[in-house]
């Protein structure tokens, strides 16, 4: 496939720990409900999945935040649960509630029946990736993504969100063999899915291990990290001769940062509980770090938002040769965020961060 | 006050890192809904607060788990929200929901009006402590407890539980002065409250920082840990010439373990995400450690529960001179837990842990 030439590669270079002139920034869930134009498109689509499964609409909302803020990356508008949906579990989003599956995978029979879905059934995602990549016209790179095998399993076993993950943890402690089998299928599915996104035009990929942090030490490594490693080991590392860097984000995984940094990704996302200076000491130059402003800091005044942004950049400090930092929130942006806060945040990160970089060779838009 | 002589001091000795013959165990929320006799007493009381404010009933339910399991400590049956209730905020527990306050502390006027409650209004708690201590007849020590200043503030500002702590974090980032003022009042109230529990007969005290772990690095230290330190600095360290050790538990605080271990308590509770071996290396012999089995492990078979208990004990390893380990869950026991799992857990901890201790000088019941 042929796409317009990339004009701003600061994000991709930072992920690969190459010199850049400033710290790039994008925001998890940057295309979302805090934007009036998103809510308008969502209403037109009729439902969340109506939005996610329509490449025209997915393209429209993916580009919305870029019209408002000079962000350094776009991320595919989609959901991590497209894979279990394609497995036939029947995903729906009730109004005002979280995702819910019509079927769950809890017993031996359901686990044995589970298979890697035909990627053809996820073609709407890959078509959206290609369409967005064209629509971006090379302004910034496009990030593809998937949930981690364990995070997908949480939803597949619980059937919905959970406060204590009792059902999947009961399986983990009582029938670890069943959970391992689900995770094997998920790992294969996630790898195929991300590779298809790369083929369709994704220029970086991110694995969201949203729920790995609820596991006990030991269980995290065996049931989450090992399967993320399996995904990464199967990923295409480049497309048309250009590197496609990868990011792994484990919410609540700060304690396991050393191990996550060795999983095989180019970058590791960290939440706001992590001290970036200590994190750098722990990971050395093995990976770039992405993060980690508390999304709730965006409810302060623009001046205070800027001060909090500086604090994160100060914590990371000078981006010495071989290091890499991508600014982000420590979790998805809240639907109640005032967009003015994002204006202040992006401006401050771009301006203030320059002092931490030696002039690099990156292309800037 | 004069109380029956203590027959089992293994828990108190372990907290003080003195030699013990086995690893003592108690469980957070051990008097609770997983016990049929608790539900029966709760029904008789009519409401949760009816139970907590009646010293006879509080004594009855505090002792219930000890009738079933040979636990090494009892913990006062109460709630961390008694203090904000005594501040006049109007605590209630709706059926099947969490706690809720009739009034919140969100604006300048409400914050300025806030004062340390008269401890007389909490007399029902202190009377329960004394009555329980007598009822225990020295079988095991009695733990008193309170919420941390920050955790109390979460409920006071939010008015109830929260998924994103948006209201209190907005205050933290926008009006840190208001939050600091709330925390000052809370710290003074918690210190007075715990000292009154010690005077009433509590033999150890625990501070639950249930929500400190939701804060960003930096904010945790300034808005949670500093106020826990303030409480600890005011605590009585002994009663009638006997030491009263203290425990601080911060759910999700594993990353800050070094700093928490320096806050001034005798022991630090850790959740299940923490690796106990690494935790020991980080805290050295500064504090004892309490924890940290995943409460969800209790949904496995008794044999599997025993195996998970061994894993925790193996992680901690030999309890060398100067070290201390108290076995516990990493969070409160689930209301759905089969009591047989607790039987298996307590038996295995007592039996298997002996190999990690040199014969100590403790009294055992």
Distances (CA, A) of B280 to A246, B319, B322: 34, 10, 11
pLDDT, position A222:
98
pLDDT, position A246:
98
Contacts of B197 (CB under 8 A, 6+ apart): B76, B125, B126, B129, B144, B145, B146, B205
Active-site residue identified among A22, A34, A38, A155: A155
DSSP B247: E
The string of pLDDT tens digits covering residues B95-106 is 777 899 999 999
Percent helix, percent strand, percent coil in chain A, to nearest 5: 50, 10, 40
Per the domain annotation, does A322 fall within a domain? yes
Comparing CA positions, the residue from A205, A196, A58 lying closest to residue A135 is A58
Contacts of A317 (CB under 8 A, 6+ apart): A277, A280, A356
pLDDT, position B60:
98
Q: What is the ipTM of this complex?
A: 0.94
Contact list, B292 vs chain A (CB under 8 Å): 216
pLDDT, position A365:
44
- Here the CATH number for the domain that contains residue B118 is 3.20.20.210
Query: Per-residue pLDDT for B363 more than 80?
Result: no
Per the domain annotation, does A2 fall within a domain? no
Q: Are A133 and A194 in contact (CB under 8 A)?
A: no
**Which sign does the torsion angle of CA A214, A218, A221, A224 carry?**
negative
Per the domain annotation, does A333 fall within a domain? yes
With CB atoms and an 8 Å threshold, state whether A173 touches B300. Answer: yes
Distance from CA of B223 to the nearest CA of A (A): 13
Residue B300 belongs to what H/E stretch? Answer: none
Contacts of B286 (CB under 8 A, 6+ apart): B261, B262
With CB atoms and an 8 Å threshold, state whether B296 touches A215. Answer: no
* CA angle in degrees (0–180, nearest 5) for A343-A346-A350: 140
What is the per-residue DSSP string for B157-199?
HHSB--SS-HHHHHHHHH-HHHHHHHHHHHHHHHHHHHHHHHH
What span, in angstroms and rounded, lies between the C-alpha atoms of B91 and B155? Answer: 10
Residue of A273, A313, A337, A341 to mutate, testing the B interface (most B Cβ within 10 Å of its Cβ): A273
Comparing CA positions, the residue from A287, A353, A342, A350 lying closest to residue A29 is A342
Per the domain annotation, does B363 fall within a domain? no
In degrees and rounded to multiples of 5, residue A272 shows phi and psi of -75, -10
Q: Searching chain B, which residue's CA lies closest to the CA of residue A305?
A: B173
Residue B142 belongs to what H/E stretch? Answer: strand B142-147
What span, in angstroms and rounded, lies between the C-alpha atoms of A255 and B242? Answer: 37
Interface size between A and B, measured as CB pairs under 8 A: 105
Per the domain annotation, does A364 fall within a domain? no
Per the domain annotation, does B1 fall within a domain? no
Q: Searching chain B, which residue's CA lies closest to the CA of residue A170?
A: B299
What span, in angstroms and rounded, lies between the C-alpha atoms of A79 and A85? Answer: 10
Residue-by-residue pLDDT tens, chain A, 365 positions? 799 999 999 999 999 999 999 999 999 999 999 999 999 999 999 988 999 999 999 999 999 999 999 999 999 999 999 999 999 999 998 777 789 999 999 999 999 999 999 999 999 999 999 999 999 999 999 999 999 999 999 999 999 989 899 999 999 999 999 999 999 999 999 999 999 999 999 999 999 999 999 999 999 999 999 999 999 999 999 999 999 999 999 999 999 999 999 999 999 999 999 999 999 999 999 999 999 999 999 999 999 999 999 999 999 999 999 999 999 999 999 999 999 999 999 999 999 999 999 865 555 54
Q: Which residue bears the tokens 């050790």? A: B245
Determine which of A182-196, B41-55, B294-308 has the lowest per-residue pLDDT on average.
B41-55
pLDDT greater at residue B279 or residue A47: B279
Percent helix, percent strand, percent coil in chain B, to nearest 5: 50, 10, 40
Residue of B273, B277, B302, B330 to mutate, testing the A interface (most A Cβ within 10 Å of its Cβ): B273
Distances (CA, A) of A64 to A31, A37, A38, A58, A75: 7, 7, 7, 10, 11
Distance from CA of B169 to the nearest CA of A (A): 6
pLDDT, position B360:
55
pLDDT, position B101:
96
Structurally, how many domains does chain A consist of? 1
pLDDT, position A361:
52
Contact list, B311 vs chain A (CB under 8 Å): 218
Longest alpha-carbon distance in chain B: 59
Query: Per-residue pLDDT for B114 more than 90?
Result: yes
Per the domain annotation, does A4 fall within a domain? no
Q: Which residue bears the tokens 């925790």? A: B312
Contact list, A213 vs chain B (CB under 8 Å): 273
Query: Residue B145 — left, alpha, or beta (φ > 0 → left; ψ -120 to 50 → alpha)?
Result: beta
What span, in angstroms and rounded, lies between the C-alpha atoms of A205 and A143? Answer: 5
Mean pLDDT confidence for B172-199: 98
pLDDT, position B365:
44
pLDDT, position B94:
78
Comparing CA positions, the residue from A269, A116, A142 lying closest to residue A197 is A142
The string of pLDDT tens digits covering residues B156-165 is 999 998 989 9
Q: Are A294 and A330 in contact (CB under 8 A)?
A: yes
Catalytic residue flag (residue A106): no
With CB atoms and an 8 Å threshold, state whether A336 touches B170. Answer: no
Per the domain annotation, does B361 fall within a domain? no
Contact list, B330 vs chain A (CB under 8 Å): 216
Contact list, A301 vs chain B (CB under 8 Å): 174
Domain that holds residue B47: 10-356
């Amino acid at each position: 496939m042929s796409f317009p030439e990339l004009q701003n590669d600061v994000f991709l270079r930072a992920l690969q720990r190459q010199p850049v002139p400033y710290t790039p920034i994008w925001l998890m869930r940057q295309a979302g409900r805090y934007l009036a134009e998103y809510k308008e498109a969502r209403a037109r689509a009729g439902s969340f999945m109506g939005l996610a499964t329509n490449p025209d609409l997915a393209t429209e909302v993916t580009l919305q935040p870029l019209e408002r803020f000079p962000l350094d990356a776009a991320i595919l508008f989609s959901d991590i649960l497209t894979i279990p949906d394609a497995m036939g579990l029947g995903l729906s989003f009730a109004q005002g509630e979280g995702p819910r599956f019509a079927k769950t995978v809890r017993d031996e029979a359901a686990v044995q029946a589970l298979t890697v879905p035909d990627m053809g059934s996820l073609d709407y995602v890959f078509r959206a990736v290609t369409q967005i990549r064209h629509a971006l016209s090379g302004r910034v790179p496009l990030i593809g993504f998937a949930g981690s095998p364990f995070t997908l399993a949480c939803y597949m076993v619980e059937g919905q969100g959970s406060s204590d993950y009792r059902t999947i943890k009961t399986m983990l402690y009582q029938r670890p063999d069943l959970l391992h089998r689900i995770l094997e299928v998920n790992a294969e599915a996630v790898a195929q899915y991300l590779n298809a996104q790369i083929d369709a035009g994704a220029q970086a990929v991110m694995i969201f291990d949203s729920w790995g942090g609820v596991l006990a030490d030991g269980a995290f490594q065996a049931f989450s990290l090992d399967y993320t490693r399996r995904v990464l080991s199967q990923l295409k590392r480049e497309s048309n001769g250009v590197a496609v860097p990868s990011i792994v984000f484990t919410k609540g995984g700060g304690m396991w940062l050393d191990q996550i940094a060795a999983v095989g990704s180019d970058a590791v996302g960290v939440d706001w509980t992590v001290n970036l200076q200590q994190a750098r000491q722990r990971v050395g130059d093995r990976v770039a770090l992405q993060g980690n402003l508390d999304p709730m800091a965006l409810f302060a005044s623009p001046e205070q938002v800027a001060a909090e942004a500086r604090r994160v950049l100060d914590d990371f400090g000078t981006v010495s040769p071989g290091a890499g930092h991508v600014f982000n929130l420590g979790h998805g942006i809240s639907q109640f965020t005032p967009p003015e806060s994002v204006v202040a945040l992006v401006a401050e990160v771009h301006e203030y961060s320059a002092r931490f970089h030696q002039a690099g060779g990156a292309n800037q838009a």
